[in-house]
Amino acid sequence: MSDSRMPLFGDRRISAEWNKYGREQAEPFHCENPHSAAWCRFPSARVVLTAILAFCLTLSLFVKDAAGAALSGNAAIYGLEGAFSDDVRVKISLRGYKTSDGSLQIEGLISKMASSVEYIMEDGPIDLSLRFPASLINDLPGGVHDITASSWDFQGRSEVVIPPAAVGKLFIKTATPAAVVDYVGEKLSNLRNNDGVPYRPEMRRLAYYSFKMGNGPVIVGSPDAYNAYRIPEEWMRGERLSIVHLNEMESLNSEPQTVTIPKRPPSPWVFALDESAPGANDGKIFGVSKKMEYSADGGKHWTDCPVWKIECLAPSDGYHVRFKAIKGVSFASGQKKLVIKAAPDTPEF
């Protein structure tokens, strides 16, 4: 049974459910699209929901030119970032215009991105739909995007030019992150360092994520230029990390992604042998394998270990040995610090 309160845009039906959690609060929108299984699910937000419903019921904006022509529309479209599988149409009306040759051009814009163009070949009132290709919508970041329309005579006659009029809004819920643990780089990769359209730099803005490990505090940060975020040592304890891609409108934040950050493996059991004679530089480290690597400068640079022992080492307190990181499996292990002492000088008699 159809609910008259539910706006219907093509095959997209929008409903609102209410519940009680100590205070009246909106349950998420449920938007159904048979062409996309991951259509959307909005988080609770009473204030935003109320504003959206009021918008859906009351929006009817008109902008008139000197001839009295006007564009109007009433549309609120909801979706999940990257999940539009078919085109979006926005119903608009044009009233009070007259052309000499019956040729008028309508253009729709979403965040400065043009839709397809419709041509009206008759005078008088007309209702039509602006078509926005799914590929264009899927390039937009999560957030609220104004939909505008404008009209002018195809031959450029100024008497029928109609300035841009707001005809609706597009509410896009930010897509759930798909971060991947990079064990070698000790980072969360596959994030985004900006929200925007790749070929429209002026629409980009820095992307922010919230990270929460277990019962710990919420940390807000932005990925680096390589779309990765460094995993701090305190996260490597085998607990689940919640990642949310934040939006300027809180109700359009993404659903959380949960990733388990494994513990760092323990350091290897190895030992060192000191220099045998002054200046010999023949210190040794025993117990190593090809699964390990060592550093002679305190962990700044690493070298693969041979089998069983490392020879010809100069005296130093900066040797470290660890198991290598295994791609897709484990972080590098904790480091075993070793000291190779210099041989004492032989006294002269």
Give the class (CATH, top level) of 271-340: mainly beta
**pLDDT tops 60 at residue 148:** yes
Angle among Cα 276, 336, 267 to the nearest 5 degrees reads 140
Identify the residue with better confidence: 348 or 319.
319
Q: What is the pTM of this model?
A: 0.74
CATH number for the domain formed by residue range(s) 8-173: 2.60.40.10
Q: Give the pLDDT band of residue 68 (cuts 50, 70, 90).
A: low
Between the CA of residue 318 and those of 108, 268, 300, 313, 341, what are the distances in Å? 65, 16, 10, 11, 11
pLDDT at site 180: 97
Percent of the chain's residues with pLDDT above 70:
74
The whole-angstrom separation of Cα 253 and Cα 172 is 10
pLDDT tens-digit series, residues 185-206: 999 999 998 887 666 677 678 9
Angle among Cα 324, 329, 332 to the nearest 5 degrees reads 25
pLDDT at site 157: 56
pLDDT tens-digit series, residues 229-277: 999 999 999 999 999 999 999 999 999 999 999 999 999 999 999 999 9
Please classify residue 23 by burial: count the beta carbons closer than 10 Å to its beta carbon, then call 0-12 exposed, 13-18 middle and 19+ buried. Answer: exposed
Q: Phi, psi at residue 235, to the nearest 5°? A: -80, -15
